[in-house]
Amino acid sequence: MSAAPAIEVENLVREFKKGPRAVDGIDLAVEPGEIYGFLGPNGAGKSTTVLMLTTLLPPTSGRASVGGYDIVRDGAHVRASIGAALQEAALDVILTGREHLMLQGTLQGIPRADRARRAQELLDRVGLSEAADRRVGGYSGGMKRRLDLALALVHEPRILFLDEPTTGLDLQSRTALWAEVDRLAHEDGITVFLTTQYLEEADALADRVGIIDHGRIVAEDTPENLKAEIGHPTVEVRPADVSLGEGFASALEGFGKQVRGEDGSIAVQLPGGEAQLAEVVRALDAAGLHVASLHLHQPSLDDVFLAKTGRKLEGSSEEAEEPVEAPSGRGRRGRRRG
Amino acid sequence: MRRFASVTQGVAWRSIHNTIKTPSVLVPSILFPLFFLAAFAGGLSKIAQVPSFHYRAGYTAFQFVFVFLQSSAFGGVFTGFAVARDFDSGFARRLLLSAPNRGGIIAGYTIGAALRWLLTGTVVTIAALIAGMNVDGSGIQLIGLLGIGLVVNLVAALWAIGTAMFLRTEQAGAVIQMPVFVIVFLAPIYVPLNLLTGWIHAVAKYNPATVVLEAGRGLFDASPVKVALAFIVLAAGAAVMAAWARRGLASAERAG
Amino acid sequence: MASGLSEPHLLEQVGAVARRSVIRTIRQRGLLVFPILFPLILFAINGSALSAATRIPGFPPVSYRAFLLAVPFMQGALFVAVTAGVDLARDIESGFFNRLAMTPVRASAMLAGQMGGPLLVAAIQSVIYLLVGIATGVGIASGVGGALVLLVLSVLIAFGFAGVGTLLALRFGSGEAVQAMFPLLFVTLFLSSSSLPRNLLKVSWFHFVATYNPASYLIEGIRSLVISGWDARALALGFGFAVAILVLTIGLSSLAMKNRLQRS
């Protein structure tokens, strides 16, 4: 008999007073010990989902359970079972890293005798031992994120929510954080619910990926299966003269599905595989069309998103002004959430 | 000259436009003088019973002149806050890059300050008249008071703009307003100079704000005193602060 | 979750949050200078500039400085209100509030603990104002005991005002909104018996406002200890209003805190 899901969501909805549904009826289940990647552009509903699952924002309708506890009825038990590193690092720049951990430990109910040891353990684990007694105001972005992760782990939760944990980090910091998240899940057995707008992050880390757009899950499976569903490589053609776009579309009609990019490029699937690339070139040549560039893509999660929504995920500036509400139901100024 | 005028006009227009679009920014600069008028004229009116207090127009008018000129000074100070905010947001850099005559930037800000203060001053005057204030000065004398107010506003605005340009951050607020606050409050604001005693009398006696305040009060109750001296003091202040603002601008230009 | 974890005792939660508040205050000492200095500057200026007021018939037979000494305590309390409010608002804006909300911390512990730093400041500045007053020649008519009672009343007032700042922060979630309220609170002080005794407020509407302004009774409570000695009525009204303000603001803040936490 399989264990109950660590996170189970059924038709979860969140509406805001003056705006569209930020989360529009999502269903998902995350198995214990799994890394679930929640992928989508800015404004898709990712962070709103996390806020609901971490009990900081009540849902409008639907139900969800985290760690076996209902998020509405058993909020205190949910919070005791989870750790969360939300979109902002949310640290006090005046306190040191160690002081943060001691405060968190006290509030989480760690016995006094164990607090200092636990704090040191976590500082060692995230590589902040040397900086432990410096004020957080002097930390780099990567250090702040690592401290954020350490704080989420103080009370040894079985489920961890990470909301865009590597946004704004340099490559080195990002890679280090990935390694730690992977270790947490696959060595310590912690369930990780990770939201991200970075394809490579979802690809690299997630056991399964849910793609969310406009508050709905448009696709869900392992990264490999999602890409295999698309199946075919895609060639992206950028005309030398963008005004001749129609001509290009016409010349490429005999191949697979076409999608026009906002920059005038045309992406066309190659049902016959990479071998059809030469035929594409011949067709364009025969039509007397000159290309500025030609790129062959193997299927990526961006292509999956493109196939499901008609838009690219990367560079997609989601203009939906999702009014973000702080947990009290009041808007937090000016910050758009995914 | 044309470039100077066009930059001045552009910056002044933006200043007024922003005020019209967000009228709430005017609220503190209008409310504060009204509260001071209410508190001082209302709460301290018994001061008029002190022997040797002589002001023909009455204590409300006595306080009105102070509040009128204080609102002018702080109107200039608030302009400095706006300039500091422009640096914090990066807009000031855009202005410096695009203005063919950068002196016009300073002039534009000061004109904006003056126009905003004229509105504030009008509201304060109406409120004081409604409160039953006596007006003894003639038309010319009242225009003289208005002239003093405009130059006070100019001096304060130039100080604030220069300081904001030197510091280029909203944190400059305290640095901008404290000296103005101290100068204003070390003048005979509650009672005439002859009724001050102790150290404050010594300080107020040499405070340039005292001359300005006394001149304004004299114009208002038709007993003008030291008016020429007040204007000389203000002209000197304006010249010094214009140089200060220019140096602030140069500092901002060097910083890029 | 690790075994051995239990919900921490309320006092332990209060202590942890308060400790952070105090650490923040101590590490930002420079920010205390202006709030402590500004009331003293006004005290120096007004104490001298308004000294002629002692010549108004009916003015108490004391120096104007002695009469005025109560006011810095009130102005200091206002700064405490703003500091408490801005600190909490910043936590809300930065998301640190959410971090604490994810723990088992109780709303009451959050509220009480946040006051730690502001109350420390209130205590320090009250002592400073008192010492400056004495150093400038003001005698405390109620003696050493009265000075201690004065300090207690001052801190109590500051506590109540800190509740105002906290309430504004919880209601608006914005440091700017808290700071924008400060001038209005500051001006409320003027519309009281801060500058002249109530019986010498000639203008009828002003007298009316001052009579119904709780700030008048807070000031008069402190003032009585300085210029009158032990005035039971003034003290009763002063402490009464201080406690009433405290109960009201802390009560409303508790509701606002629970609302903002809005956890299931």
- Give the pLDDT confidence of B114-145 residue by residue, as tens digits: 999 999 999 999 999 998 898 999 999 999 99
Q: Quick one: which of B38, B77, A332, B82 has its CA closest to C184?
A: B38
Q: How confident is the model at residue C163 (pLDDT cuts 50, 70, 90)?
A: very high
**Helix, strand, coil % (nearest 5) of chain A?**
35, 25, 40
Are residues C48 and B196, on separate chains, in Cβ contact within 8 Å? yes
Of B43, B44, B198, the CB nearest to C51: B198
Concatenated DSSP letters of A122-133: HHHHTT-TTTTT
A62 neighbors A11 (Cβ within 8 angstroms): yes
Structural domains of chain B, count: 1
Chain C residues in contact with B41 by the CB 8 A cut-off are 203
Q: Which helix (H) or strand (E) holds A234?
A: strand A234-239
What are A38's strand-pairing partners? A195, A210
Are residues B43 and C41, on separate chains, in Cβ contact within 8 Å? no
Q: Quick one: which of A13, A70, A63, A49 has its CA closest to C264?
A: A70
Q: How confident is the model at residue A332 (pLDDT cuts 50, 70, 90)?
A: very low
Averaged pLDDT, A159-179? 90
pLDDT of residue A104 exceeding 50, the answer is: yes
- pLDDT tens-digit map of B143-199: 999 999 999 999 999 999 999 999 888 777 878 888 998 899 899 999 999 988 888
The yes or no reply on domain A7-91+139-227 and CATH 3.40.50.300 is yes
Q: Quick one: which of C161, C177, C190, C180 has its CA closest to C81?
A: C161
Chain C interface includes A65 (CB < 8 A): no
Tokens of residue B56, six digits: 């023909």
The yes or no reply on domain A232-298 and CATH 3.90.550.10 is no
List residues of C whose CB lies inside 8 A of any A CB: 1-2, 4-8, 12-13, 15-17, 19-20, 23-24, 27-28, 91-96, 98-105, 173-174, 259-264
- The domain locations on chain A are 7-91+139-227, 232-298
Task: Indicate the Cα dihedral angle B46, B47, B49, B53, nearest 10°.
Answer: -160
Are residues C202 and B45, on separate chains, in Cβ contact within 8 Å? yes
A270 neighbors A254 (Cβ within 8 angstroms): no
- The domain locations on chain C are 10-258
What are A163's strand-pairing partners? A195
Of B43, B53, B196, the CB nearest to C206: B43
Nearest CA in chain C to A151: C99
Intra-chain end-to-end CA distance of chain B, in Å: 25
CA gap A147, A154 in Å, rounded? 11
pLDDT of residue A33 exceeding 80, the answer is: yes
Residues in A 127-166 with any Cβ partner in C closer than 8 A? 135, 151, 155-158
Give the predicted TM-score (pTM) of the model. 0.78
Listed in order, strand segments (DSSP E) in A31-165 are 35-39, 61-66, 69-70, 82-85, 159-163
Nearest CA in chain C to A118: C2
C-B interface (Cβ pairs under 8 Å ≥ 3): yes
Q: Which helix (H) or strand (E) holds A17?
A: none
Residues in A 7-46 with any Cβ partner in C closer than 8 A? none
Buried b (16+ CB within 10 A) or exposed e, A142-177: bbbbbbbbbbbbbbebbbbbbbbbbbebeeebbebb
Averaged pLDDT, C95-121? 92
What is the per-residue pLDDT for A327? 38
Q: Strand A7-15's sheet: what is its strand order?
A: A21-30, A7-15, A61-66, A69-70
What is the per-residue pLDDT for A315? 54
Q: Which domain holds residue B132?
A: 2-255
Residues in A 101-120 with any Cβ partner in C closer than 8 A? 103-104, 106-111, 114
Buried b (16+ CB within 10 A) or exposed e, B142-160: bebbbbbbbbbbbbbbbbb
Q: How confident is the model at residue A325 (pLDDT cuts 50, 70, 90)?
A: very low
Of A91, A111, A158, the CB nearest to C96: A91
Averaged pLDDT, C81-102? 91
Chain B interface includes C131 (CB < 8 A): no
pLDDT of residue A184 exceeding 90, the answer is: yes
Chain B interface includes C46 (CB < 8 A): yes
What is the per-residue pLDDT for B26? 78
CA gap B235, B241 in Å, rounded? 10
Are residues A157 and C95, on separate chains, in Cβ contact within 8 Å? no
What is the per-residue pLDDT for A303? 78
Q: Quick one: which of C195, C42, C196 has its CA closest to B186?
A: C42
Q: Distance, in angstroms, between C15 CA and closest chain A CA?
A: 9
Chains adjacent to A (≥3 CB pairs closer than 8 angstroms): C
Interface probe, candidates B35, B44, B66, B189, chain C, greatest C C-beta count within 10 A: B44
Q: Which helix (H) or strand (E) holds B77?
A: helix B59-89
- pLDDT tens-digit map of C62-72: 999 999 999 99
Nearest CA in chain B to C59: B46
Nearest CA in chain C to A81: C1
CA gap B178, C257 in Å, rounded? 35
Which residues are CB-contacts of A297 (< 8 A; sequence separation ≥ 6)?
Answer: A233, A234, A235, A236, A267, A303
Chain C residues in contact with B35 by the CB 8 A cut-off are 187, 190-191
Q: How confident is the model at residue B106 (pLDDT cuts 50, 70, 90)?
A: very high
- Please give the mean pLDDT across all residues of chain B: 89
Chain C residues in contact with B199 by the CB 8 A cut-off are 48
Q: With a cut of 0.90, is the ipTM above it?
A: no
What is the per-residue pLDDT for A2? 58
Concatenated DSSP letters of A300-333: -HHHHHHHHHSS-STT---------B-TTSPBPT
Q: Is pLDDT larger for residue A53 or for residue B99?
A: A53
Averaged pLDDT, C11-17? 94
pLDDT of residue A89 exceeding 80, the answer is: no
- pLDDT tens-digit map of A272-322: 877 888 999 999 999 999 999 999 887 888 878 888 887 777 655 443 334
Q: Is pLDDT larger for residue A89 or for residue B53?
A: B53
What is the per-residue pLDDT for A306? 80
